[in-house]
Amino acid sequence: MRQSRFAPEDETGSRRVEAVEPVVSFGEALWYWLKLGFISFGGPAGQIAIMHQDLVERKRWISEKRFLHALNYCMVLPGPEAQQLATYIGWLMHRTWGGLIAGGFFVLPSLFVLIGLSWVYMAFGSVPAVAGVLYGIKPAVTAIVVFAAYRIGSRALKNAWLYAIAAAAFLAIFAANVPFPLIVLVAGVIGHFGGQYAPAKFTIGGGHKAGETTFGPAILDDDTPTPRHALFTWRRFAAVLAIFVLIWLAAVATLTLAFGWTGTMPQMAWFFTKAALLTFGGAYAVLPYVYQGAVDHYHWLSGLQMIDGLALGETTPGPLIMVVSFVGFVGGWTNAVFGPHAVLASAVVASIVVTFFTFLPSFLFIFLGGPFIETTHGNLKFTAPLTAITSAVVGVIVNLAVFFAIHVLWPRGMQGAFEWPSLLIGLAAGIALFRFKVGVIPVVLTCGVVGLVLRVAGL
C-alpha cells in the first residue's frame, strides 16, 4: 500500500518523505466506525481492546506506539477516553470529517438504542414483566459500581496518602454532601502541593507502555510523518477554539430563546456542559455529580430511576456516560417541555440535547489538542494533581455504591422492609464479577431474568 509520497530532491540529492493522507478510503473507515458503534460493549477497557485488535493488529492502520501515545492523551482528558481515542484516530487519518464520523458513530447507535429502551421504561415500566426485570438488574448494578470502585482503587491507591484522599472524598460527599466539583478542585490542589513536597507519593502514573510485540508495518507507522492537517499552528488552534465556542453559544442561545434561560432545555445544556468537563476518571466518577444535579437540584428524575438508567446503560453499546441520554429523556418526559400531548417528542429532543452538550467538549479536546500531541511522541504521564483527583474519585464512587445499595435494599426507606432477594442477587453478581471475572452484560442479563422469575413467582 502507498503510505507516503516523495517531495523533490533537496540540496543533498536525497528525497524527503512528506506526510500524505492514509490510503484507507473514507468509505472503508466510515463502515468500520459504524460497525464499532454497534459492538463496543465492555466499557472503556473492552472498547479500547477492540480498537487495538482491529486497528493495530489486524488492519494495521496505526502502529502500536502511536495508538498508545494517542490513548495516553485521551486518558488525561475529561470525558469518555474510548470515544475520544476513536475520534483521534479518525481525525488523524481523514481530517475533521474523519474525527466527526469516528466519534459520532461511537455514540449514535447507543443513543438510538437508549431512546428506545427509555421509551419502553417510561411507557411500560409498571408492567409486571418489565418491573421484574428491573428488580433483578438493580442489585446487579450496585455490584457493578462496587467492582468499578475496586478496579480503579486497585490501580490508583498505592500509598497511605492516596488512601487518605479517597477516604476524605467519601466522607465529604456522603456525610457533608460537598459538591463533586469542589471535591475535584480540592483534590487537585492537594496533588499540586503534594507533588512538590512529596513527589514520590504523587507520581503513580497512568502511562501505557508499548509492548515488545510488533505486527509489521502500519499505514501510520512510528516514523510516518505527521499528516499535514495534524500539524500544530496557533492560527489553527485559535480557529478551532472559536468555532467550538460559537457552536456552543449558538446552541445555548437557540434553546434560551425558545424556552427561556430557566427552562428545562437550557438548564440541561448548561448542566451537562459542566458535567462533560468534570468526567475525570470515567463515567462512574461523574455519576455522583449527575445525581446531585439531576435528582437533588433539578428533580428531572428520581434516585431509583437513576439506578434504572444506569442498568439500561450497562446493557447497550457505547460509552457508559451515555446514561445521561436516559436522564435527559426522563427529564423531558416528566417536564413535558412541548406540552402534555407531546411528552415523547419532549423526551427525545431532551435526550438529544443532553447527548450533544455532553460530547461536544470531547470533540473540542481532540481537534484542539491533537495537533499539539502530534508534535511529541514521548509517553504522557499523569500529573500529581491528576493522581490526587483519581484517588478522590475512588471515594466518590464508593459513595455512589453506598447510595445505590441503600435504595435497592430499602426501596421504601430505612423504616421499610428489607429486600432479602435483592441482597442475594447483589451478592451473587458480586461473586460473578470478582471471583469468576464474568462480563458485565451476562451478569446484568442473568440478574434481570432472575428478577423476572421472582416477580412471576410472587416472591
Flag whether 252 is in a domain: yes
Flag whether 218 is in a domain: yes
Decide which of 314 and 360 is more confident. 360
What average pLDDT does range 114-124 have in this prediction?
91
pLDDT of residue 126: 67
Lowest mean pLDDT among 78-82, 206-210, 334-338: 206-210
Indicate the number of domains in the chain: 1
Instruction: Evaluate the CA torsion angle 124, 126, 129, 130 in order and state its sign.
Output: positive
- In whole angstroms, what is the distance from residue 390 CA to residue 152 CA? 8
Tens digits of per-residue pLDDT, 294-344?
Answer: 998 999 999 889 888 887 877 777 887 888 999 999 999 999 989 999 999
pLDDT of residue 81: 82
Flag whether 127 is in a domain: yes
Cβ neighbors of 178 (< 8 A, separation 6 or more) are 172
For residue 97 the three cell numbers come to 470529517
Nearest-Å Rg of the Cα atoms of the chain is 23
Instruction: Evaluate the CA torsion angle 415, 421, 422, 428 in order and state its sign.
Output: positive
What average pLDDT does range 240-262 have in this prediction?
97
- In whole angstroms, what is the distance from residue 303 CA to residue 410 CA? 12
pLDDT band at 207 (very low <50, low <70, confident <90, very high): very low
pLDDT band at 366 (very low <50, low <70, confident <90, very high): very high
Among 147-161, 256-270, 286-300, 440-454, top mean pLDDT goes to 256-270
Using the predicted structure, report yes or no on whether residue 2 has a pLDDT greater than 70.
Answer: no
Flag whether 146 is in a domain: yes
For residue 225 the three cell numbers come to 510523518
- In whole angstroms, what is the distance from residue 355 CA to residue 328 CA? 8
CA distances from 235 to 224, 238, 323 (A): 24, 5, 37
Flag whether 156 is in a domain: yes
- Using the 8-state DSSP alphabet, how is residue 297 labeled? I
Flag whether 125 is in a domain: yes
Flag whether 13 is in a domain: no
- In whole angstroms, what is the distance from residue 303 CA to residue 425 CA? 20
Flag whether 380 is in a domain: yes
Decide which of 200 and 454 is more confident. 454
What average pLDDT does range 146-167 have in this prediction?
86
- In whole angstroms, what is the distance from residue 435 CA to residue 440 CA? 13
Using the predicted structure, report yes or no on whether residue 380 has a pLDDT greater than 60.
Answer: no
Residue appearing with cell numbers 436516559? 326
- Using the 8-state DSSP alphabet, how is residue 146 labeled? H
pLDDT band at 6 (very low <50, low <70, confident <90, very high): very low
Using the predicted structure, report yes or no on whether residue 352 has a pLDDT greater than 50.
Answer: yes
Domain residues for 317? Answer: 106-223+231-456
Tens digits of per-residue pLDDT, 275-286?
Answer: 888 766 566 667
pLDDT band at 14 (very low <50, low <70, confident <90, very high): very low
- In whole angstroms, what is the distance from residue 145 CA to residue 426 CA? 11
pLDDT of residue 12: 39
pLDDT band at 169 (very low <50, low <70, confident <90, very high): very high
pLDDT band at 206 (very low <50, low <70, confident <90, very high): very low
Centre a 10 Å sphere on the Cβ of residue 286 and count the other Cβ atoms it contains: 30
